[in-house]
Amino acid sequence: MTETTGFSWTPENEAAAQKHIAKYPEGRQQSAVMPLLDIAQRQNGGHLTIEIMEYIADYLDMAPIKVQEVATFYTMYNHKPMGKHHVQVCGTTPCWLRGSDDIIAACKSKLGIGMGETTADGQFTLSEVECAGACVNAPVVAINDDYYEDLTADSISNILDDLAAGKEVKPGPQVDRQTSAPVGGATTLKDFISEGEGA
C-alpha cells in the first residue's frame, strides 16, 4: 500500500458521497463505506491508500481498521497504482472453455507484462478475475467499467492497440450480435413475426 498526501473529496465527489450516506438512517452512515471507497478510488486514479482509508474512516466516524477490512476483503479495491486501463480477463470455467487462455496469452504478449503487472508507460494493468457474470458472451474482458465480449485473440489485440493509440473502442460483443441475442441476428420465430406483422 502506497502513500499519497492530502486526499480530500472534490466538490462533485463530496456531493456523491453525501448522496450515498443519505440512503441510510441517521447514525448508520458507516453503511456507505463501500460506495465511498469506490468514489475515492476513482478520484485517486484507480487505487486506495492508507491515507484515503483513514480519510474515509474519519469521514464516516468509524475505526480505520474497519475500513481497511472492507477494502482488503473485496477484490475490486486496488491497493497499488493501476494503469490507465485495467484489463480484467475472466478466467472462470465458461470463459476458460471458450478460450480465455488464448485471450490471456494475447494480452500478455501484446502488453509484454504478466498477471498483476502494469506496463512501464502506465497505460495498462493486466489481471485475471473470477466470473464476470457475462458467461453467455464468453470469453469476456472487462476494461475499467466496460465489458468486451465474444473475444478472440485477434479482437482483444485490436482493442488493446486502439486503446493504446487513444482511439475510441466499441464495448460489448465484438461479433455480429446484439447484447446476448443470437449471433448473426434473430434465428427463431422469424417467420412467425413477419407473418404476424403481415397479417
Partner 1 sequence: MPTLTIDGTEVTVEPGTTVLQACEEVGVEVPRFCYHERLSIAGNCRMCLVDMEKAPKPIASCAMPAGDGMVIHTNTERVKKAREGVMEFLLINHPLDCPICDQGGECDLQDQAMAFGRGHNRFDENKRAVEDKEMGPLISTTMTRCIHCMRCVRFSEEVAGVPDMGALYRGENMQITTYLEKTLDSEMSGNVVDLCPVGALTSKPYAFTARSWELKHTETIDVMDALGSNIRVDTRGAAVMRILPRLHEDINEEWISDKTRYVFDGLKARRIDTPYVRKSKKLTAATWAEAFKAIKSKLKGVKGDEIAAIVGDQADMESMAALKDLMASLGSTRIECRQDGSAADASVRSGYIMNSTIAGVEEADYLLLVGANPRLEAPVLNTRIRKAARHFGLKVGNIGNAEDLTYRVAEYGDDAAILKAVLDGSHEASAALKKAEKPMILVGQAALTGEQGAAVLKAARDIADKYCMREGWNGFNMLHNAAGRVGGLDLGLTAEGGVDGILDDAEAGKLKTVFLLGADEIDTSGLKGATVVYVGTHGDEGVKNADIILPSAAYTEKFGTYANTEGRFQRTSKAAFAPGEAREDWSIFRALSDVLGSTLPYDNITQLRARIAKDVPGFENIDVIQVAEWGDFGKQGDIASGGIAPAIENFYHTNPIARASQIMADCIDARGGLVEEATGTNG
Please, what is the Cα angle at 59 between 54 and 65, to 5 degrees? 35
Q: Would you call 105 helix, strand, or coil by DSSP?
A: helix
Strands 85-90 and 124-129: parallel
Q: Quick check: 73 binds partner 1 (CB under 8 A)?
A: yes
Q: Of 47-55, 86-94, 103-111, 147-155, which part binds partner 1 (CB under 8 A)?
A: 47-55
Crossing angle of helices 50-60 and 64-73, in 10° steps, is 120
The dihedral sign for the CA sequence 160, 162, 168, 173:
negative
Binds partner 1 (CB under 8 A): choice among 4, 38, 43, 66:
66
Q: How many residues bind partner 1 (CB under 8 A)?
A: 12
Question: Least distance in Å: CB of 47 to partner 1?
Answer: 16
Confirm or reject binding of residue 172 to partner 1 (CB under 8 A).
Answer: no
Q: Are 125 and 163 in contact (CB under 8 A)?
A: no
Interface region with partner 1, contact rule CB under 8 A, candidates 24-32, 66-74, 92-100, 122-130: 66-74
Q: Which amino acid is at 52?
A: I
Q: How far apart are CA 178 and CA 180, in angstroms?
A: 6
Asked if 69 interacts with partner 1 (CB under 8 A), we say yes
Q: Which of 20, 30, 43, 64 binds partner 1 (CB under 8 A)?
A: 64
> Can residue 4 be called a binding residue for partner 1 (CB under 8 A)?
no
- The site for partner 1 (CB under 8 A) is made up of 5, 50-51, 54, 63-66, 68-69, 72-73
